[in-house]
C-alpha cells in the first residue's frame, strides 16, 4: 500500500470531525529552578515577601487571570467536551487547597467536562503534604505526576532537586493514599550514573506498584545551566545499556512501553498525553502556555505571554495574553502530525492522519516510502508506526516528513 501512494499537492485541510479536546493549565512557579530545566518556570521569591500564601506569588491574581484566559477560548470551543485536564509547571502543588478548589470549580462552571475526566496535577516531592494532597483530591484531582527523577541523594543533589530519597518515597506513599492514579517521573543517564545505580532507581520505583512510569534520558537543553556548565554524563554505550536493562525490568513488572518515554500497566495510559500524541486539540492557558484548536477548515495554534507578571498584566489590561495566534500552514501539518504520532509504540491507524490533519495520506507518500525502505517505518498498510529501529532513531524518522 505504501508503494502505491503517489505524492499529492497540499491544499487546505478539510476536517470531517473535530478531534478530542483537552485543557492544559500552566503554573509557572517552583521553589528552585533545576539546572536541566528548560520549561517556563520561575523560582518563587523569599517566602516572607508580599504574599498571602507565603510563597512569593499572588495566587488569587494569577488564578483570576487563568479564569479570564479560559473565557477567551470559549467562543472557539463552545459545545465541545473536555476529556482531560493537565495542570503543569513549575510546581502546581505549591497552590493552596483553597486556590486549587476555586480554580477547578471555575473550570467546571465554564466547560463541559467528560464524566470521569482525567485531571492531572504535577507535584514536586519536596512540596508534598498529606493534608494538602487530601484536599487536592477532594477538589477533583484524580491523577498526580511526581517528579522523582532519582531516589539517590547524591544524584538528586547533582540535579538540583529540593527533595531527598526518603522524601521521594514518602511523597509516593501519600499520593497512593489519595489519588486514583499516580505517575513517577524518573531520569536516566544522570551525572556519573552507573548501571547498578540506574537499576536501583527502577527497582525502588517498581516496589511502589504505581500504574504509570515515565522514564526518560537526561538531555542538555539550550538556555539551561547544564548547557553552559555541562556535568559528566555517561557515554552513549553506557546510556544504551541503562535503557535496555531498565526496559527489561519494566516489562517484567507488567509495564508496557506505549510511548517513547512512557510506561503503563494495562489501561493506565495517560489520556491527556495520548491526546497530544494523536494530534488532538488542547486549550492552553497560563503564562507561556501553547494551545492547538481545530476548526472544520483550519487548525490554529496560540502562544501566551511567557513571564507571569507580563501575562497577568496583559489579561488585566487587554483581556488577552496572546503573543501569537496563527493558522498552521497546510504544508506543515504532516510534519506536526508525524512528530507526535510516531512517538507511540503502537503508532496510529492510517485513517487518523486524514481525520486529524484534514489532508489525504498521499501528501506524505514520499516520506512513507523512504522511511519504509530504511526499516524505520512498519510496513503494515493500516498503520503509521515506527519500527524498533525507528523508535531508536526517532529524530531521523520524523525529519523525513519535514
31-35, 55-59, 283-287, 294-298: which has the minimum mean pLDDT?
55-59
Q: What's the topology of domain 21-276? A: TIM Barrel (3.20.20)
pLDDT digits (tens, 9 = 90+) for 301-321: 999 999 999 999 999 999 999
Answer for the pair 103, 72: CB distance below 8 angstroms, yes or no.
Answer: no
Task: Tell whether the model's pLDDT for residue 53 goes beyond 80.
Answer: no
CB neighbours of residue 61 within 10 Å:
15
pLDDT digits (tens, 9 = 90+) for 120-170: 999 999 888 899 999 999 999 999 999 999 999 999 999 988 999 999 999
Domain ranges of the chain: 1-14+330-402, 21-276
C-alpha to C-alpha distances, 279 to 299, 313, 358, 395, nearest whole angstrom: 11, 32, 12, 18
Cα(23)–Cα(26) distance, integer angstroms = 10
pLDDT digits (tens, 9 = 90+) for 268-299: 999 999 999 999 999 999 999 999 999 999 99
Give the strands of the sheet with 281-285, arranged side by side: 256-259, 262-264, 212-217, 181-188, 143-149, 112-123, 81-89, 21-27, 281-285, 290-295, 298-304, 322-327
92-101, 121-130, 262-271: which has the minimum mean pLDDT?
121-130
pLDDT score at 80: 96
- For residue 6, give the H/E element and its range: none
The model carries a pTM of 0.93
pLDDT score at 47: 42
Q: Which three cell numbers stand for residue 364?
A: 506524505
Mean residue pLDDT of the chain comes to: 92
Q: Which three cell numbers stand for residue 272?
A: 491527556
pLDDT digits (tens, 9 = 90+) for 173-232: 999 999 999 999 999 999 999 999 999 999 999 999 999 999 999 988 888 888 888 899
**CATH code of the domain made up of 1-14+330-402:** 1.10.10.920
Q: Are strands 298-304 and 181-188 parallel, antiparallel or unpaired?
A: unpaired
Q: How far is CA 45 from the centre of its chain?
A: 26
pLDDT score at 5: 57
3-state secondary structure of 328: coil
Amino acid at each position: 500500500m505504501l508503494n502505491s501512494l503517489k505524492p499529492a499537492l497540499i491544499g487546505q485541510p478539510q476536517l470531517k470531525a473535530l478531534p478530542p479536546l483537552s485543557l492544559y493549565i500552566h503554573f509557572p512557579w517552583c521553589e528552585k529552578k533545576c539546572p536541566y530545566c528548560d520549561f517556563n518556570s520561575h523560582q518563587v521569591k523569599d517566602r516572607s515577601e508580599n504574599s498571602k500564601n507565603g510563597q512569593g506569588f499572588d495566587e488569587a491574581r494569577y488564578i483570576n487571570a487563568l479564569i479570564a484566559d479560559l473565557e477567551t477560548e470559549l467562543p472557539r470551543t463552545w459545545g465541545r467536551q473536555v476529556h482531560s485536564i493537565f495542570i503543569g509547571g513549575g510546581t502546581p502543588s505549591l497552590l493552596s487547597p483553597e486556590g486549587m478548589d476555586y480554580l477547578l470549580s471555575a473550570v467546571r462552571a465554564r466547560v463541559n467536562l467528560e464524566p470521569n475526566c482525567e485531571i492531572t496535577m504535577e507535584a514536586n516531592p519536596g512540596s508534598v503534604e498529606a493534608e494538602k494532597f487530601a484536599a487536592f483530591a477532594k477538589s477533583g484531582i484524580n491523577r498526580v505526576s511526581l517528579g522523582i527523577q532519582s531516589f539517590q541523594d547524591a544524584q538528586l543533589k547533582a540535579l538540583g532537586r529540593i527533595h531527598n530519597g526518603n522524601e521521594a518515597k514518602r511523597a509516593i506513599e501519600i499520593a497512593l493514599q489519595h489519588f486514583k492514579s499516580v505517575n513517577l517521573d524518573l531520569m536516566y543517564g544522570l551525572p556519573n550514573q552507573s548501571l547498578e545505580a540506574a537499576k536501583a532507581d527502577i527497582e525502588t520505583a517498581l516496589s511502589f506498584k504505581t500504574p504509570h512510569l515515565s522514564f526518560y534520558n537526561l538531555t542538555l537543553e539550550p538556555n539551561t545551566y547544564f548547557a553552559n556548565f555541562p556535568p559528566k554524563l555517561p557515554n552513549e554505550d553506557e546510556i544504551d545499556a541503562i535503557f535496555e536493562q531498565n526496559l527489561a525490568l519494566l516489562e517484567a513488572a507488567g509495564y508496557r512501553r506505549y510511548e517513547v518515554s512512557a510506561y503503563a500497566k494495562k489501561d493506565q495510559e495517560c489520556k491527556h498525553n495520548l491526546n497530544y500524541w494523536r494530534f488532538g486539540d488542547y486549550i492552553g492557558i497560563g503564562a507561556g502556555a501553547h494551545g492547538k484548536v481545530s476548526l472544520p477548515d483550519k487548525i490554529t495554534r496560540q502562544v501566551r505571554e511567557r513571564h507571569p507578571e507580563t501575562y497577568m498584566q496583559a489579561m488585566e489590561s487587554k483581556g488577552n495574553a496572546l503573543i501569537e495566534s496563527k493558522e498552521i500552514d497546510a504544508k506543515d501539518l504532516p510534519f506536526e502530525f508525524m512528530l507526535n504520532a510516531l512517538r507511540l509504540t503502537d503508532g496510529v491507524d492510517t485513517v487518523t492522519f486524514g481525520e486529524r490533519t484534514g489532508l489525504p495520506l498521499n501528501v506524505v507518500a514520499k516520506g512513507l516510502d523512504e522511511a519504509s525502505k530504511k526499516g524505520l517505518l512498519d510496513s503494515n498498510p493500516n498503520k503509521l508506526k515506527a519500527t524498533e529501529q525507528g523508535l531508536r532513531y526517532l529524530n531521523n524518522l520524523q525529519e523525513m516528513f519535514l
